[in-house]
Amino acid sequence: MPPRYTVSCGDFEITVLKNVYAPRFFTDSVWFLDVVPVILKGTSFLEIGCGTGIISIACAMQGANVVATDINPDAVKNTRINAENHNLEIDVREGDVYGPLRSSERFNFIFWAHPFNNSPEPVNDILLRSGFDYQYEGLKKYIAGARDHLTPKGRLLLGTGDSADIGTITSVAAEHGYTPVVLEAINMPLEEGGDIMIRYLLLDLTR
């Protein structure tokens, strides 16, 4: 794999760096790209696990004030490159879930297209961690810490799919006073032109 290459994602041309989740392999990024910015309508937005930055970029282009975080330093660099290529100012920070945030920071919307796979084994490879979350530790941090960074009427969104452990997602949400509500859903091929189907879900974890 080259150190960087360019792919089309929706209406965007984006740079992808080595060791960063590439939207060309699976269709989830394209769908979340279509549905998430429409909901925001230009407000404060935090994206966890920004990857190439494509969703943050689309939200910023709709007028949102965007902060993006990722545990992968290559993804942080990648998002900054793509934001600059699209003449956007996005505050991109390296760290785990809410770790890079100040305690006082609050957002109207928080979103994560989380790793769907609830892995029984630790995952050390930084690229594989974009798809595998050991015992859903990342998801648990995401839900548990959201209240500290949402405005009083802020909304916690989760991008997921029917291949994820929906039962665990629901129970972890309930532990923290949230109920998952499906905002949008679609059945589509997991890979462009492929035969394996998946149902993608955009959940609103309501309080």
Architecture of the domain whose range is 4-206? 3-Layer(aba) Sandwich (3.40)
Judged by DSSP in three states, 156 sits in strand
Q: Is the pLDDT of residue 26 over 90?
A: no
Whole-angstrom Cα distance, residue 70 to residue 52? Answer: 10
Kindly tell me if the per-residue pLDDT of 206 is higher than 80.
yes
pLDDT digits (tens, 9 = 90+) for 139-194: 999 999 999 999 999 999 999 999 999 999 999 999 999 999 999 999 999 988 88
Q: How does residue 57 score in pLDDT terms, banded at 50, 70 and 90?
A: very high
Confidence of residue 1 (pLDDT cuts 50, 70, 90): low
What value does the mean pLDDT take over residues 197-207?
97
What is the DSSP code string of 64-84?
-EEEEEES-HHHHHHHHHHHH
Please report which residue ranges of 41-176 form alpha helices under DSSP H.
54-61, 73-85, 137-145, 166-175
Q: What pLDDT, on a 0 to 100 scale, did the predictor assign at position 184?
A: 97
Strands (E), the chain: 4-9, 12-17, 44-48, 65-70, 91-94, 107-113, 117-119, 132-134, 150-161, 179-189, 197-206
Is pLDDT of 3 > 90?
no
- Number of other CB atoms surrounding residue 104 within 10 Å: 7
Angle between helices 28-40 and 54-61 (to 10 degrees): 30
Question: Which whole number is the average pLDDT over 127-135?
Answer: 94
Indicate whether 11 pLDDT > 90.
Answer: no
pLDDT exceeds 80 at position 25: no
In this predicted model, what pLDDT tens digit does every residue of 82-126 receive, in sequence order?
999 999 999 999 999 999 999 999 999 999 999 999 999 999 999
Residue 139: per-residue pLDDT: 98
Note whether 142 and 114 are within 8 A (CB): yes
* pLDDT for residue 192: 80
Report the alpha-carbon distance of residue 108 to residue 115 in Å, rounded.
23
Rounded to two decimals, the pTM is 0.95
* pLDDT at res. 23: 80
Domain residue ranges in the chain: 4-206
